[in-house]
Amino acid sequence: MKKLLIYSCCLLCFSAACQNAPLIESVRIEKKDTIVPVKTDAGIVLASEQQAYPLSVQKLIKAYPGHFSGFEDNHLIWKDGTKMLWDDARKDKTFSQLINESDLEDQLTSMAYPKGKDAPKPKQKEDPGRVRYEPFFKKMYGASAEAVKKNLTTIVWLSKTMNLKLQVTTVNDIHKKMQEISNRLDTMPQLHKYLKNPGGTFMWRKIAGTDRLSMHSFGMTIDVNVEFSDYWRWAIKEEEGDGTRIIEYKNRIPLELVEIFESYGFIWGGKWYHYDTMHFEYRPELLTD
Ligand SMILES: [Zn+2]
């Protein structure tokens, strides 16, 4: 068995997918007779070799190191033992159902986020990142305003030029990531007009016209300058936002700025058909290869 593991792993490591892979710490069985190397981050406990993790589960675990202990019987297992349902087995969800009744599997697999500045304009009903399983974010960042506040800290936004104080979460080291983004942007004066008067970071609230919590509730989201922003809700009525009405795409935010945020694990609301071009939120699971 040991021989088989080593042999299969080496074969796989010559594949294109493995060329850029960091240290391989373990192997596991994906399907019967197939052994897939798993790239792990510190703190992840892998399942036994007999268990199969769907690739999207691997992606989620890799994107949020330190939070999970495994995956079992269609449930993601958090380090404290909490089991969270992965797939509710409902296929053929409508667009509205994906947005309002998502499970974790939908969050990971229903819409692929196109990374980079050459991404095409979003097609109708393509909102990669708006499909979210709310209990996941409550568990990770805090299930109430008070719980989220316990994890907040202050960063200085563009300290050399603007020196604004913003509140962000320390969970997932987001405060450090946001500070690094800010330090980089401080040296790029051509982008500063888009970064002045940021629309906000933390605010526990529901998304206007819905029962869903805004990602601003969790302190891992920032709106840049509203003055240069476009938002689908400013263009059409709320009741027309079920994905059937044609919305004319608008954006004034430079993609140079978007690429910087993406490189730190933040997705951009300008890549949604229901665009929100001031909005960046920390969703590394959609940016992980
Ligand atoms: Zn926002």
Domain spans in the chain, listed from the N-terminal domain onward: 2-85, 95-286
Q: How far is ligand 1, taken at its centre, from the CA of residue 92, in Å?
A: 29
Read off the pLDDT band of 174 (50, 70, 90).
Answer: very high
The identity of residue 78, as a single letter, is W
Q: How far is the CA of 56 from the centre of ligand 1 (A)?
A: 26
- Give the distance (Å) from ligand 1 centre to CA of residue 188: 22
Length of the chain counted residue by residue? 289
Residues around ion ligand 1, judged by CB within 5 A, are 223, 279
| Ligand 1 centroid – CA 272 distance (Å) | 13
CA–CA separation, 53 vs 49, rounded Å?
10
Predicted confidence at residue 246, as pLDDT, reads: 79
pLDDT band at 8 (very low <50, low <70, confident <90, very high): very low
pLDDT band, residue 145 (cuts 50/70/90)? very high
How far does residue 67's CA lie from ligand 1's centre (Å)? 25
Residue 38 or 122, more confident: 122
| Beta bridge pairs of residue 266 | 282
Average pLDDT, the chain: 84
**132 CA → ligand 1 middle, Å:** 15
Q: What is the mean pLDDT of residues 198-210?
A: 90
User: Does residue 27 have a pLDDT over 60?
Assistant: no
What is the strand order of the sheet 198-200 is part of? Answer: 198-200, 221-225, 279-282, 266-268
- Give the separation between CA 191 and CA 258, rounded to whole angstroms: 11
CA distance 132 to 136: 8
Write the pLDDT tens digit of every residue in 213-227.
Answer: 999 999 999 999 999
Distance 49 CA to ligand 1 centre (A): 41
Maximum mean pLDDT: which of 22-31, 121-130, 134-143: 134-143
Ligand 1 centroid distance, CA of 42 (Å): 31
pLDDT classification of 9: cutoffs 50, 70, 90: very low
Contact 217, 145 (CB under 8 A): yes
pLDDT band at 128 (very low <50, low <70, confident <90, very high): very high
Residue 139 has pLDDT above 50, yes or no: yes
Rounded to the nearest angstrom, the distance between the alpha carbon of 10 and the centre of ligand 1 is 45
